[in-house]
Every structure is written in structure tokens, then in C-alpha cells.
Chain A
Amino acid sequence: MARSPRSLPTRGRQGFTFLELIVGMAVLLVALLIFSSSVSGVAKQRTVNRETNLAVAAARNLLETLRSEEFAEVYARYNADPDDDPGGAGTAPGNRFVVDGLDDTVDGGGFDGEILFPAVEDAGGTWQLREDVALPELGMPRDLSGDSIVDDDDHAGSYFILPVQIRVRWRSPIGTRQYEMTTQLCQYNKS
């Protein structure tokens, strides 16, 4: 006797259950989250690259500006001490600078960049350009005045070579970033 269609086993053709659908959607959602997080990561990386380009350009521009200054006045004009500015206290640019386009909230004060020399602050609060400071990143200690002696005098008025580091720090989407450019300035004799 033929079986009624109603009594045929239907298990293999009943489609998705609601639970299966939920699980499927959950898997799809997870895949979507992974995709969006990787896209977001790429976007963050691009932002970091763009910010790094800004920092590099700012450091290069500042270095060109330092080169364009009177060599004997570079230290006085760009150090942390406003009292020794050649044109009078507080008239020089100083050792901090702003980079447009970067978040300057890292160190406070609204500055992204800093210019560093081999200088130390003495007990009286005066900054001294010294040959004997231990700053390997600036190639120190070394002779700055050309007398072949590394001493503990202040060479702010007698330097022959001037190590300088330009440092830019900013807050990026992946945390605090820093770019440093180090070089040595010397008297440039124009023809």
C-alpha cells in the first residue's frame, strides 16, 4: 500500500530553523566586524602615515630655518632660555614650535616640536652649552669649540660645531608618536 505523502519523512527538506538562521547571521556579523575592524586599522595607519609626513616636513623646514640663521646666534635664538635672546629677552623663537595638523596635547602647552642642544641648566637656572654632557644621541660628549679639548665650560659664545636634535611628539589614533631628526650645524662659508 502506497504511503500517504503526509507521512513521508520531511527532515531533509525542511530548510533552516530559526536557530540556524540566528547562528548564520551571527557568523555573518562576526565576519562583518572583522572586515570593518581591518578597514578601520588601515585607515588609522594611513592617518599615522599622513601625520608622520607632517612631522618630517616640519622638522625639515625647521632645520632649513636653523641653517638660514646667523650661525653664531642659532643656539641663543633657539634654546630654552629666553634671557639670552640676541634681540632682548623673549624676542627669539625659542626651543618649542607648533606643527599644524598634529594633536599637540601630549606634553601640554600647545607645542608639538622641540629643539634640543647639548645644554644643561646650572644651579642658577642658566642654560649652558656644554661639551661634557652625556648625550649619545647627539654624539656627546665631544669638542664643540675646535680646541680639541672636552671641558666643562659654557660654549654658548664659542661653538664651532653645534649638534642639534629636532623632536616632534604628537597624539595619533594609535597612541603617542615621536619623530626625531638629529644633525650637526657648522659655519657655512658662502662663496
Chain B
Amino acid sequence: MRAPHRTARSGWTLIEVVLASTFTVGVFAKAAFVMESALGLASDETASMHYEDQARRVMDRIGLAIMGSDRDTLFPQIEELHTNSIRYSFSLGLEDGEVVWSSPEEIRFLNAAGTGAIEWRENPGAAEERRVVWSNLVSPLLEGEEVNGLDDNGNGLIDEDGLSFVLEGNRIVIRLTLRRPEVDGRLVVESVEHVVYCRN
């Protein structure tokens, strides 16, 4: 009697199955790890870039608003100390040889229930006051800072808010930190710094 021909369909040996399983599990685990890492990184970077862009846009608006003002008419006038609001007027041009100044405007930081905002106001406090919120993602404090009477982030300022103005000679240094929790609980924080010279 002929012995059955088993070689062609004898399947894998146990060692082959173990090796193949280990290899397959390893490859798919690595693939899952790479995919998760890549997607996480991409998500972090995208959120970070989005808020950095937003911070720079807001900063440009603040810079352009203050740029046309006169350094001597800014309020408050405290040198080297930080403030979270600034009031200014800008030059509209000349009339009969005299500079015509705009209505007073103010950019200020608002902090309500842990949520910070930047508010622009025209004719602040007057009946015809207009106000616009430029951003409502402002961090209560500047990045790295804590309310402890110390300069935690090493920028020379103590306990500064998420929006701070510092008058240094003829220039104004503006610092802004935006902060927002993402849906997965991560906190995205972006800070920008801008220097403006008052042109008028």
C-alpha cells in the first residue's frame, strides 16, 4: 500500500507558526505605534501652528493699532513695568498745520472665570463706546508665569497677565499667550512677542 503523500499540504510546523505569529504581531504592533505617534504628532503640530498663527494675527492687529499713536499720549505711562491695557490715540493727518488725533481707543485684557480675552474699545467709557473682542483664547497668565510674586519665566516681569505691555523708551514690548484645551484634554499654549515703535 502506498503511503499517503502529505508533504504538499502538511501545513506549518509549530515553530513556523510561532515565528510567523510573533513576526506578524510585531509588525502590526509597530505599525499601530507608528500610526498613533504620527497622528498624535501631526495633531499636536497642527494645533500648535493654528494657535501660533492666531496669536500672530492678534499681535499684528495690536501692533498696527498702536503704531500710529504718539508715545507721549499713551496711558498708562509707567516705564519698565507691565500693564495689561493700553489707551492711545493715533494721528489722522494734518489740518491747518495741526495734527488731528483720533478718538481714544483702548486695548485691554479681560479675565473672567479663568478665561482671558482681548478687547478693543473705541471711546472707552463714553456713551458712544464701541467694543470688539479680538480673541477669547488668552491665557490668564503669560506662559511659564505663576502668581507668586516671582519672575517665573525669566522675562524680567513678575506675575504678568496673558497680555502684557511694557514701555521701554520709545518702544512698546507686547507679549501674548494663547491657551486652549483640545478635545483630548491636551493644553495647547502659544506665546508671541512683538515690539512696536510709535510713529507719531
Residues of A within 8 A of B (CB): 6-7, 10-11, 14-15, 18, 21-22, 25, 28-29, 32, 35-36, 39, 42-43, 46, 49-50, 53, 57, 60-62, 64-65, 67-69, 188, 190-191
Which A residues are in CB contact (< 8 Å) with B9?
10, 14
Min distance, Cβ B41 to any Cβ of chain A, angstroms: 6
Min distance, Cβ B60 to any Cβ of chain A, angstroms: 10
CA distance A36 to B42 in the complex (A): 12
Asked if residues B171 and A29 are in contact (CB atoms below 8 Å), the reply is no
Asked if residues B195 and A61 are in contact (CB atoms below 8 Å), the reply is yes
Min distance, Cβ A87 to any Cβ of chain B, angstroms: 13
Q: Does B77 contact A (CB under 8 A)?
A: no
Q: Does B91 contact A (CB under 8 A)?
A: yes
Asked if residues A32 and B20 are in contact (CB atoms below 8 Å), the reply is no
**Residues of B in contact with A, size category:** 35 or more
CA distance A40 to B83 in the complex (A): 42
Which B residues are in CB contact (< 8 Å) with A25?
23-24, 27
Tell which of B20, B56, B200 touches A18, judged by Cβ atoms closer than 8 Å. B20
Q: How many A-B residue pairs have CB under 8 A?
A: 80
- Chain B, residues 11-54, CB within 8 Å of chain A (1/0): the string is 11000100110011001001100110010011001001100100
Tell which of A42, A43, A50, A191 touches B99, judged by Cβ atoms closer than 8 Å. A191
5 closest Cβ pairs, A-B complex: A61-B195, A39-B38, A68-B171, A68-B170, A68-B197
Tell which of A7, A32, A46, A65 touches B30, judged by Cβ atoms closer than 8 Å. A32
Asked if residues B195 and A18 are in contact (CB atoms below 8 Å), the reply is no
CA distance A27 to B49 in the complex (A): 34
CA distance A25 to B42 in the complex (A): 26
Closest to A43 in B: B41
Which B residues are in CB contact (< 8 Å) with A29?
27
Q: Does B199 contact A (CB under 8 A)?
A: yes
Min distance, Cβ A49 to any Cβ of chain B, angstroms: 7
Given contacts A25-B23, A28-B31, contact A188 B42 (CB under 8 A): no
Closest to A32 in B: B31
